[in-house]
């Protein structure tokens, strides 16, 4: 038995698979919309649908209802459809010409082949199909749609008709204006001049009686649309415009689509209200209004049921009321209507996204970049402040170090200074003694005494000058830039060192430049550099106990630079040390500190100059200082 079962199951596999596929196919095909398409492809019976428009195909509000009905009908119909459309142009005119030729035309079209269903759009089309049905298509079922309930000719309704009517509640529409703009005093009603529009104007007038004490009404029914535009541009404050209908104006001009409404919106200085969704979305403020969806849904539902064989008289609808109020956000903004002043349950459409909503990521990115930048900037500012503090500190330390270095240089020059002072003081003493002796004589040579006194004065000045120089080198002053003549500055420094050179039996020579060397600098610091270099040069000669004992200082002009050259006949600098001599604390002297050259280089660089050390081919070292020449003449 188990063997037979397995054979059966093997044999039934292909069938089961085929069934599964079919099931899946049906499931996929039966999704809404697909089902109808499949049915149509399977060759359902063709259904002929006649649509009759009231004013023309493109007249709002009807055109928008028709568009929606056709699209929905196509989507829902299980049968292939042949939709034929005609427009009842006579509805436009106050004194319509004979309808007979149009009726004859339709009669000849549908003779012997009646449409399966007739859809009339709007009241004029409903009237027409009711009036001529017996002649044109006596047995065809009809759906009279997009028609206001008070315009239905009930006496002519048959069992073959379905009515999809709407109810215009003008009081509700006008109360909406007062609700959102309570200061409104006047409403200008835009309405055309065709028979249907005249009918509606009378209806609106009648219905609005209860609001008469509260609102003034202006009726534009007897104006050309161009005139309406002019008036709408200069309406007094607290006026609103009510867009009734504008198919044909008083000048007989027809207005298709929403061109007229858009033109009015462009010029009007007051908000526009309407009770029809087809006019909503760009021009009107909004409020309670007829919804396209609700009417087209009911119409299509009725049509499908009738085409499917259901008795039209079984399909009954109550007149469709206004849908829940909807408002155009852009118009609310324009007329400063607060969202909180809208009736409860209102929906706000066409809201423009905020900058945040549209560019959320960009905004976040920019904010992040700004934050990072702000962080970096504050970090840099903090760093800069710290650097400034550090710079001030380092300048102070340097000034102290430089000062200490000057003391040490002066220390080395003590002999020289003592000598410089001793000489004039000794001369003063000798001269004073000589003068005293001469004055003791019976007839002293007063001219000679005068001469001696002049010498004493000169020696005193010389001694004072030495002290002045010494004080100027030792004084602790802030960095002070002045106009200097470099030849003079060098000469003064040499003056301080000359006696030391003498004492050490070194020939200290100075060859100043033939031209003036105007520079800008701190005189004390520039002298310090020169003294350091001269002392180092003398140290080198003394240490090595050289035979040829010369330190030659020269200044010269090289282009736009002033140069000081200090050469000696010492042993020179060891090749390995050449790169290090300017490093702080580099010294080859047993009691050296190794800061003289480092300080000198720092001073020169602070004066925008350069400093270099090299060995001379004939032996000895050469230090070169270069400082920029300035245009100014010397003198502070």
Q: Apex CA 356: angle with CA 351 and CA 358, to 5°?
A: 60
Q: Which segment (117-125, 409-417, 496-504, 582-590) binds ligand ADP by CB under 6 A?
A: 582-590
CA distance 114 to 137: 6
Q: Are strands 286-289 and 323-328 parallel, antiparallel or unpaired?
A: antiparallel
* Interacting span for ligand ADP (CB under 6 A) from 181-189, 236-244, 263-271, 572-580: 572-580
Segment lying near ligand ADP (by CB under 6 A), choices 98-106, 362-370, 427-435, 588-596: 588-596
Decide: is 593 part of the binding site for ligand ADP (CB under 6 A): yes
x/- letters, 504..543, toward ligand ADP (CB under 6 A): ----------------------------x---xx--x---
Report if residue 398 touches ligand ADP, rule: CB under 6 A: no
Pull the structure tokens for residue 554.
């020269």
The C-alpha atoms of residue 240 and residue 286 are separated, in whole angstroms, by: 12
Residue placing its CB nearer to ligand ADP in the complex, 527 or 532: 532
Q: Binder to ligand ADP among 351, 594, 624, 634 (CB under 6 A)? A: 594
Rule CB under 6 A: say whether 586 interacts with ligand ADP: yes
- Residue 562 CA to residue 556 CA, distance in Å, equals 6
What's the CA gap between 616 and 573, in Å, rounded?
10
CB atoms within 10 A of CB 88: 22
Among 179-187, 257-265, 393-401, 566-574, the segment contacting ligand ADP (CB under 6 A): 566-574
Give the nearest distance from C-beta 407 to ligand ADP in angstroms: 13
Min dist. Cβ of residue 537 to ligand ADP (A): 5
Residue entry with tokens 């529409």: 173
What SS3 string covers 192-206?
CCCHHHHHHHHHHHH
Which span sits near ligand ADP by CB under 6 A: 90-98, 147-155, 165-173, 580-588? 580-588
Based on the shown chain and the rule CB under 6 A, indicate whether residue 78 belongs to the binding site for ligand ADP. no
The answer to whether residue 382 forms part of the interface with ligand ADP (CB under 6 A) is no
Q: Of the ranges 448-456, 490-498, 514-522, 567-575, which one interacts with ligand ADP (CB under 6 A)?
A: 567-575
Q: Which stretch binds ligand ADP (CB under 6 A): 24-32, 198-206, 412-420, 590-598?
A: 590-598
User: Between 159 and 576, whose beta carbon lies closer to ligand ADP?
Assistant: 576
CB 102, CB 90: distance < 8 Å: yes
- Decide whether 327 or 582 has the Cβ nearer to ligand ADP: 582
Binding residue count for ligand ADP, defined by CB under 6 A: 22
Q: Which long-range contacts (CB under 8 A, 24 or more apart) does 253-257 make?
A: 253/224, 253/225, 254/55, 254/56, 254/92, 255/192, 255/225, 256/56, 256/58, 256/59, 256/60, 257/58, 257/59, 257/60, 257/63
Rounded to a whole number of angstroms, the minimum distance from the CB of residue 392 to ligand ADP is 25
For ligand ADP, the binding residue among 130, 568, 602, 609 (CB under 6 A) is 568
Q: What x/- string results for residues 597 through 636 when contact with ligand ADP is judged by CB under 6 A?
A: xx----------------------x---------------
Q: How many CB atoms lie within 10 A of CB 375?
A: 10
Contact 316/297 with Cβ under 8 angstroms? Answer: no
* 3-state percent breakdown (helix, strand, coil) of the chain, nearest 5: 50, 20, 30
> Least distance in Å: CB of 594 to ligand ADP?
4
Q: Which two tokens stand for residue 398?
A: 């340097």
Q: What is the dihedral of CA 554, 558, 560, 565, to 10 degrees?
A: -30
Q: Are 222 and 250 in contact (CB under 8 A)?
A: yes
CA nearest 632: which of 417, 508, 483?
A: 483
Cα separation of 184 and 217, whole Å?
11
Name which of 54 and 569 has its Cβ closer to ligand ADP: 569
- Cβ 560 to ligand ADP shortest distance, Å: 27
Q: In whole angstroms, what is the distance from residue 486 CA to residue 497 CA?
A: 17
- Please identify, among the stretches 3-11, 231-239, 450-458, 581-589, the one whose residues bind ligand ADP according to the rule CB under 6 A: 581-589
Part in contact with ligand ADP (CB under 6 A); list of ranges 7-15, 254-262, 438-446, 569-577: 569-577
Q: What length is written for the chain? A: 636
486 touching ligand ADP, by CB under 6 A: no
Answer for which of 18, 588, 614, 632 binds ligand ADP (CB under 6 A) is: 588
Contact 246, 279 (CB under 8 A): no
CB 235 within 8 A of CB 188: yes
Nearer to ligand ADP, 343 or 592 (CB): 592
One of 129, 264, 494, 581 touching ligand ADP (CB under 6 A) = 581
> Between helices 123-136 and 100-110, what is the axis angle to 10°?
60
For residues 447, 451, 453, 454, the Cα torsion angle rounded to the nearest 10 degrees is 140
Smallest gap from Cβ 387 to ligand ADP, in A, equals: 27
Residues 307-366 that bind ligand ADP (CB under 6 A): none
Shortest Å, Cβ 586 to ligand ADP? 5
Could you tell me which stretch among 33-41, 100-108, 119-127, 595-603 binds ligand ADP (CB under 6 A)? 595-603
Considering only CA atoms, which of 141, 139, 142 is closest in space to residue 125? 142
Applying CB under 6 A, among 204, 573, 625, 629 the residue interacting with ligand ADP is 573
Minimum distance from residue 622 beta carbon to ligand ADP (Å):
8
Asked if 589 interacts with ligand ADP (CB under 6 A), we say yes
Locate 132 and state its tokens.
């001529």
Task: Restricting to residues 411-470, name those near ligand ADP by CB under 6 A.
Answer: none
587 binds ligand ADP (CB under 6 A): yes
Footprint of ligand ADP (CB under 6 A): 532, 536-537, 540, 568, 570, 572-573, 577, 581, 586-589, 592-598, 621
């Amino acid at each position: 038995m188990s063997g037979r079962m397995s054979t059966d199951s093997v044999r039934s596999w292909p069938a089961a698979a085929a069934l599964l596929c079919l099931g899946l196919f049906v499931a996929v095909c039966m999704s809404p919309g697909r089902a109808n398409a499949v049915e149509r492809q399977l060759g359902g019976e063709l259904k002929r649908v006649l649509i009759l428009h009231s004013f023309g195909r493109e007249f709002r509000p009807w055109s928008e209802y028709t568009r929606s009905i056709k699209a929905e009908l196509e989507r829902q119909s299980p049968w292939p459809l042949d939709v034929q459309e005609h427009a009842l142009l006579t509805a436009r005119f106050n004194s319509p010409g004979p309808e007979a030729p149009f009726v004859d035309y339709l009669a000849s079209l549908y003779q012997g082949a009646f449409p399966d269903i007739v859809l009339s759009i709007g009241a004029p089309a409903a009237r027409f199909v009711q009036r001529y049905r017996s002649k044109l298509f006596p047995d065809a079922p009809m759906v009279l749609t997009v028609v206001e309930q008070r315009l239905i000719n009930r006496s002519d309704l048959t069992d073959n008709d379905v009515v999809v009517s709407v109810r215009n509640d003008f009081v509700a529409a006008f109360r909406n204006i007062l609700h959102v703009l309570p200061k409104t005093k006047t409403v200008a009603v835009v309405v055309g001049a065709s028979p249907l529009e005249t009918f509606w104007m009378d209806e609106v007038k009648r219905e609005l009686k209860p609001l008469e004490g509260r609102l003034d009404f202006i009726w534009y029914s007897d104006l050309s649309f161009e005139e309406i535009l002019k008036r709408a541009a200069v309406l007094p404050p607290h006026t609103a415009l009510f867009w009734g209908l504008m198919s044909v104006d008083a000048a007989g001009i027809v207005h298709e689509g929403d061109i007229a409404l858009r033109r009015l919106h462009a010029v009007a200085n007051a908000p526009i209200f309407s009770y029809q969704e087809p006019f909503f979305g760009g021009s009107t403020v909004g409020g309670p209004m007829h919804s396209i969806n609700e009417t087209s849904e009911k119409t299509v539902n009725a049509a499908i049921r009738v085409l499917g064989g259901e008795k039209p008289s079984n399909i009954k609808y109550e007149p469709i009321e206004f849908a829940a109020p909807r408002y155009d956000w852009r118009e609310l903004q324009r007329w400063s209507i607060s969202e909180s002043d809208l009736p409860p349950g209102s929906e706000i459409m066409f809201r423009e996204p905020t900058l945040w909503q549209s560019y959320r990521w960009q905004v976040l990115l920019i904010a992040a970049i700004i934050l990072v930048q702000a962080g970096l900037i504050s970090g840099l500012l903090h760093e800069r402040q710290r650097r400034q503090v550090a710079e001030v500190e380092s300048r102070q330390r340097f000034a102290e170090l430089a000062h200490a270095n000057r003391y040490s240089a002066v220390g080395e020059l003590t002999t020289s200074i003592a000598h410089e002072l001793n000489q004039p003081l000794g001369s003063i003493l000798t001269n004073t003694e000589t003068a005293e002796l001469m004055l003791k004589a019976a007839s002293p040579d007063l001219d000679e005494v005068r001469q001696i006194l002049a010498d004493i004065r000169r020696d005193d000045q010389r001694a004072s000058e030495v002290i002045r120089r010494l004080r100027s080198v030792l004084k602790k002053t802030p960095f002070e830039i002045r106009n200097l003549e470099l030849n003079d500055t060098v000469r003064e420094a040499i003056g301080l060192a000359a006696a030391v050179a003498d004492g050490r039996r070194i020939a200290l020579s100075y060859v100043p430049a033939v031209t003036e060397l105007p520079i800008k600098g701190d005189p004390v610091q520039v002298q310090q550099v020169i003294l350091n270099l001269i002392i180092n040069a003398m140290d080198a000669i003394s240490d090595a106990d050289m035979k040829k004992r010369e330190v030659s200082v020269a200044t010269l002009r090289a282009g736009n630079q002033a140069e000081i050259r200090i050469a000696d006949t010492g042993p020179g600098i060891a090749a390995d040390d050449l790169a290090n001599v300017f490093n702080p604390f580099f010294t080859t002297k047993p009691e050296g500190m190794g800061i003289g050259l480092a300080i000198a280089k720092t001073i020169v660089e602070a004066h925008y100059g350069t400093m270099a050390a090299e060995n001379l081919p004939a032996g000895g070292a050469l230090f070169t200082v270069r400082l920029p020449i300035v245009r100014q003449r010397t003198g502070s």
